[in-house]
């Protein structure tokens, strides 16, 4: 069983920049370093997308994906894919989330993403919470996409990948506005659910969708026909 390992105490100054963690770990021989993050955890429609990234060189302008404009995210996404040592993306569909539960899928997706990276790893930085069972020592970093370059890179890859998938879904289901809200719960999304009922790409285990499915709103169908899922 992999044991979570923290390197010898080291001060990483807030003004040391986004590469402070990576430099501190590299000084102790704990490289290459992978960053892991996900996109779509809080959405009620669409997949959960997990990305793991090992950077080869420093990339100027990296930041938390949520703090960047769509155009800037797309630019950095292409730069990351073009220069990184290794990138792995795992897509977990809504049906699997409903069957296994969101957090279990999140943990499993992070394990799969790290396992899919090329080459041996010295360390893994994870956004948010610990993930047991990784092939290298690891550390969960609070708001990791704001303080670690490789985690920020993973957040960008995951978000751009997922946003593009949701935009493609919008072509198939234009009534829901997926291209606009990307499957997150907004007032417009709630109105679309009430008017049309859930699509096959909604997460029926989420209360916002489950309540609509149980009522048969927008479909003329009752709970048994819709498959209400688990509250």
**Per-residue model confidence as pLDDT tens for the chain (231 residues):** 444 555 555 544 544 589 999 999 999 999 999 999 999 999 999 999 999 999 999 999 999 998 999 999 999 999 999 999 999 999 999 999 999 999 999 999 999 999 999 999 999 999 999 999 999 999 999 999 999 999 999 999 999 999 999 999 999 999 999 999 999 999 999 999 999 999 999 999 999 999 998 877 665 333 322 332 322
Q: What pLDDT was estimated at residue 4? A: 52
In terms of Cα–Cα distance, which of 109, 102, 105, 112 is closest to 203?
Answer: 102
- The reply to whether the predicted model has a pTM over 0.85 is yes
Q: Within 13 Å and on the Cβ side, how many CA atoms surround 86?
A: 17
How far apart CA 13 and CA 182 sit, in angstroms, is 35
Helix orientation angle between 70-83 and 149-172, rounded to the nearest 10 degrees? 120
How far apart CA 123 and CA 6 sit, in angstroms, is 10
What residue ranges do the domains of the chain occupy? 14-161, 169-226
* Domain covering 14-161: architecture: 2-Layer Sandwich (3.30)
Sheet holding 33-39: strands in order across? 86-92, 48-54, 33-39, 123-127, 138-141
Q: What pLDDT was estimated at residue 33? A: 98
How far apart CA 151 and CA 86 sit, in angstroms, is 13
How far apart CA 157 and CA 216 sit, in angstroms, is 36
How far apart CA 74 and CA 13 sit, in angstroms, is 29
Q: What pLDDT was estimated at residue 214? A: 83
């Amino acid at each position: 069983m992999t044991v979570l390992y923290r390197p010898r105490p080291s001060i990483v100054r807030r003004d040391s920049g986004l590469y402070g963690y990576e430099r501190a770990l590299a000084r102790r021989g704990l490289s290459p370093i992978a960053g892991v993050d996900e996109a779509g955890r809080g959405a009620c429609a669409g997949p959960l997308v997990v990305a793991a990234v090992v950077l080869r060189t420093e990339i100027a302008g990296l930041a938390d994906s949520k703090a960047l404009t769509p155009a800037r995210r797309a630019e950095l996404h292409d730069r990351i894919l073009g220069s990184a040592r290794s990138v792995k993306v795992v897509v977990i569909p809504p049906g699997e989330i409903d069957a296994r539960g969101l957090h279990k899928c999140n943990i499993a997706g992070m394990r799969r993403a790290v396992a899919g990276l090329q080459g041996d790893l010295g360390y893994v930085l994870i956004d948010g919470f610990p993930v047991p069972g990784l092939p290298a020592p690891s550390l969960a970093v609070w708001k990791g996409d704001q303080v670690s370059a490789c985690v920020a890179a993973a957040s960008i890859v995951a978000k751009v990948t997922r946003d593009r998938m949701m935009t493609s879904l919008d072509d198939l289901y234009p009534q829901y506005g997926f291209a606009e809200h990307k499957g997150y719960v907004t007032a417009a999304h709630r109105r679309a659910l009430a008017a049309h009922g859930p699509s096959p790409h909604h997460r029926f285990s989420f209360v916002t969708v489950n309540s609509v499915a149980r009522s048969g709103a927008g479909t003329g169908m009752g709970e048994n026909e819709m498959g209400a899922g688990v509250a």
